[in-house]
């Protein structure tokens, strides 16, 4: 794949955080993330970065830039509405070598919606992903991590992996600033056995602004980034 090759060829050098390995998961109705499910098979010091709620033209390009500067690859869980508003930006995310997955067509509290509306949202999300990327998504993260029996069953039937999180840093709260976000990230990783699937938001200006400092801190503390992928669609 040319996109992956161009990332690998980028001149980051030993000072960059880099991407230490690729963890390829099968396309199946599994579920990961210690907040609600089993942990990913990560070794001590390994971190998976994930970004939700994009793509957003004001902040996602800055997130891509910060990741590229450190040769880091991540997973982006995109909502359907912004995806259809900014399909070129969404494809730019994928073409930079990142993994793209789904996060709810609208960002709804599904637990308070009728089952038919929940399933219609998933249907719309899958259709939007297929339209923009030309291939079916491998995984899904619930908005607000608010899982419902109806959608869990539908995801399992469709062999879509549910991705919860190990830890977040509340980067959606008003203006915590780069230093506090970075400190929180290091603290939460330490509390999670020094590893973890991290929830961030590329739709947040403050996250984009803090990302260079966060990546530098991960590098300085000896953390290694793992890139999540899924096997090719059948």
- Which residues of this protein are in contact with Zn ion, per CB under 5 A? 52-53
Dist. CA 47–CA 95, nearest whole Å: 22
Query: Taking the complex as a whole, how short is the minimal distance between the CB of residue 199 and Zn ion, in angstroms?
Result: 9
Query: Taking the complex as a whole, how short is the minimal distance between the CB of residue 141 and Zn ion, in angstroms?
Result: 7
Query: Taking the complex as a whole, how short is the minimal distance between the CB of residue 32 and Zn ion, in angstroms?
Result: 17
Q: Closest CB to Zn ion belongs to which residue?
A: 52
Dist. CA 125–CA 101, nearest whole Å: 10
Dist. CA 39–CA 163, nearest whole Å: 10
Residues in the chain: 234
Nearer to Zn ion, 184 or 224 (CB): 184
Other beta carbons less than 10 A from residue 77's beta carbon = 25
Nearer to Zn ion, 52 or 121 (CB): 52
Query: Taking the complex as a whole, how short is the minimal distance between the CB of residue 116 and Zn ion, in angstroms?
Result: 22
Dist. CA 153–CA 5, nearest whole Å: 37
Q: Of the candidates 140, 119, 150, 164, which has an alpha carbon nearest to the alpha carbon of residue 27?
A: 140
Query: Taking the complex as a whole, how short is the minimal distance between the CB of residue 13 and Zn ion, in angstroms?
Result: 34
Query: Taking the complex as a whole, how short is the minimal distance between the CB of residue 80 and Zn ion, in angstroms?
Result: 12
Nearer to Zn ion, 19 or 126 (CB): 126
Nearer to Zn ion, 51 or 223 (CB): 51
């Amino acid at each position: 794949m040319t996109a992956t090759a161009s990332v690998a060829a980028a001149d980051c050098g030993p000072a960059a955080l880099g991407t230490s390995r690729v963890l390829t998961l099968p396309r199946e109705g599994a579920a990961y993330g210690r907040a609600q499910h089993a942990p990913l098979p990560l070794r001590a010091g390994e971190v998976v970065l994930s970004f939700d709620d994009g793509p957003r033209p004001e902040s996602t390009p800055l997130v891509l830039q910060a990741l590229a500067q450190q040769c880091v690859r991540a997973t982006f869980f995109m909502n359907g509405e912004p995806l259809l508003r900014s399909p070129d930006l969404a494809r730019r995310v994928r073409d930079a070598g990142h993994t793209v997955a789904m996060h709810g067509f609208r960002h709804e509290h599904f637990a308070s919606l009728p089952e038919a509306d929940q399933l219609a949202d998933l249907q719309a999300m899958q259709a939007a992903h297929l339209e923009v990327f030309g291939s079916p998504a491998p995984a899904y993260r619930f908005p607000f991590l608010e899982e419902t029996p109806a959608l869990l069953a539908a995801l399992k039937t469709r062999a879509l992996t549910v991705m919860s999180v190990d830890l977040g840093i509340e980067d959606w709260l008003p203006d915590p600033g780069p230093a506090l976000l970075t400190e929180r990230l290091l603290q939460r990783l330490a509390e999670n056995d020094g590893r973890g699937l991290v929830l961030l938001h590329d739709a947040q200006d403050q996250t984009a602004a803090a990302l260079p400092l966060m990546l530098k801190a991960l590098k300085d503390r000896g953390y290694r980034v793992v890139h999540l992928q899924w096997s090719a669609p059948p």
